[in-house]
Amino acid sequence: MFANSILEVVIGLVFVFFVCSLAVSGINEFVRTILNTRAKALWTALSRMLDPSEAAAQPERLTARLPEAPTREQPNAGQHETGARGPSLAELLYDHPLISRLDPTRLHRPTRITHIAPTEFARALVDILTPEDGDGNKRWEQLGDEIRTLPRPLRAQFLVLYEEAGGNVKEFRQAIEGWFVSSMDRVSEWYRRRTRVVMFGYGLIVAIAFNVSAVHVTSELYENDIVRETVVELAAARTAQENVQECTDRTCVEEEIGKIVDTGLPVLWRTCPDGDGDSGLCGFENGRATAATIVGWLITAAALSVGAAFWFALLKRAFHFRSRMGAS
């Protein structure tokens, strides 16, 4: 009996985290769309990957049309040597037809491109690096010489790949694809860490705005059988849905939060009875948040930062474990 009660407390708390995570996900998606952070992060990453000797371009540059690419009669080597500042390799990549067509606005703005396939990246990059003769014919035999004009450490990396390919252009493209995938994996990990920090900030906003303290919620779930049973019933109904995506719009999130409020959990800015029989804001004493409330907000913020999908999956596992306990 005691073990079942503890499990129900866990289920209730996980459900609260899940619903609040939906709000955090909504905020994150809205801000990310408005600020176009995903495309800007991709541009920054490619700028650092392809032009390591230069500082990454500032976001302000991304709103302007890219510089005109040098004429094909000019050797590409001049683009990468010191001297007059021409288009960077990243800018040339974004201006390449295979990449620029990915811009949904068709305005040649790198910040509108959120994804580049490895195959498209490799084809475009090798095409940029390969010089042409006066008739526009590719001079593939000079690709190795062109790679030697790149800045370090990009030159060293590409030379190794080119030599391993034995000068074969097709195999070199495949090697570039692998290099791109490996590099973007590291970028993705960096982006996830950065997003986690941002999500913690959004989570803290939601925790304070809705006064969701993990400490007080847990205490109420443990001490109040009626509230606990009601929350568990709501969670059971929610897990009957197949996935998180069935409730991501604002209306659905508001309905879910409203259901939590109706259970009687100590959330939102409302009065709760204190030990002296008086009433005050839940989690506050003398107009100030208690230490338990603040700690609870921080715990809630950290929990919300991992995303709704995590809590939804954990919720389903908890119910599966509960059903197995009941059968045994």
Buried b (16+ CB within 10 A) or exposed e, 127-137: bbbbbbeeeee
DSSP H helices, the chain, are 2-35, 37-50, 77-80, 89-95, 97-100, 118-129, 143-147, 154-164, 169-209, 214-223, 225-239, 250-262, 291-304, 308-327
Pair 148, 224 in one domain: no
Burial (CB count <10 Å: 0-12, 13-18, 19+), residue 304: buried
Comparison of pLDDT for 59 and 208, the residue scoring more? 208
3-class state of residue 269 by DSSP: coil
Least confident of 42-56, 93-107, 187-201: 42-56
Average of per-residue pLDDT values in the chain: 80
Alpha-carbon gap, residue 257 to 268, rounded angstroms: 10
Pair 283, 162 in one domain: no
Q: Report pLDDT for 270.
A: 73
Report which listed range, 58-62, 134-138, 247-251, 259-263, is most confident.
259-263
Interval 242-258: pLDDT, tens: 666 556 667 777 888 88
Pair 152, 241 in one domain: no
- For 74-100, what is the mean pLDDT? 67
Name the pTM for this structure: 0.68
Pair 72, 30 in one domain: no
Number of domains in the chain: 2
Pair 51, 171 in one domain: yes
Comparison of pLDDT for 78 and 295, the residue scoring more? 295
Alpha-carbon gap, residue 9 to 259, rounded angstroms: 17
Q: Report pLDDT for 266.
A: 86
Alpha-carbon gap, residue 191 to 180, rounded angstroms: 16
Interval 6-30: pLDDT, tens: 999 999 999 999 999 999 988 888 8
- Answer with the one of 119, 153, 188 that is the final residue of a domain: 188
Pair 66, 178 in one domain: yes
What long-range pairs does 138-141 form, CB within 8 A, spacing at least 24? 140/169
> How many Å is the Cα radius of gyration of the chain?
28
Percent of the chain with pLDDT over 90: 35
Cα dihedral across residues 176, 177, 180, 181: positive or negative: negative
Amino acid found at 175: A
Pair 107, 234 in one domain: no
- For 226-252, what is the mean pLDDT? 80
Alpha-carbon gap, residue 43 to 275, rounded angstroms: 57
Alpha-carbon gap, residue 237 to 91, rounded angstroms: 51
The residue among 92, 82, 95, 99 whose CA lies nearest residue 150 is: 82
Comparison of pLDDT for 203 and 113, the residue scoring more? 203
Pair 282, 243 in one domain: yes
Q: Report pLDDT for 139.
A: 81
Pair 174, 203 in one domain: no
Confidence of residue 188 (pLDDT cuts 50, 70, 90): confident
- For 208-230, what is the mean pLDDT? 93
CB of 16 closer than 8 Å to CB of 218: no
Helix (H) or strand (E) holding 53: none
Contacts of 34 (CB under 8 A, 6+ apart): none
Amino acid found at 147: I
Q: Report pLDDT for 69.
A: 33
Interval 290-299: pLDDT, tens: 899 999 999 9
Alpha-carbon gap, residue 21 to 25, rounded angstroms: 6
- For 263-276, what is the mean pLDDT? 74
Asked whether the predicted pLDDT for residue 158 surpasses 80, the reply is yes
Alpha-carbon gap, residue 205 to 201, rounded angstroms: 6
- Answer with the one of 188, 219, 250 that is the final residue of a domain: 188
Alpha-carbon gap, residue 38 to 111, rounded angstroms: 8
The domain of 174 spans 37-188
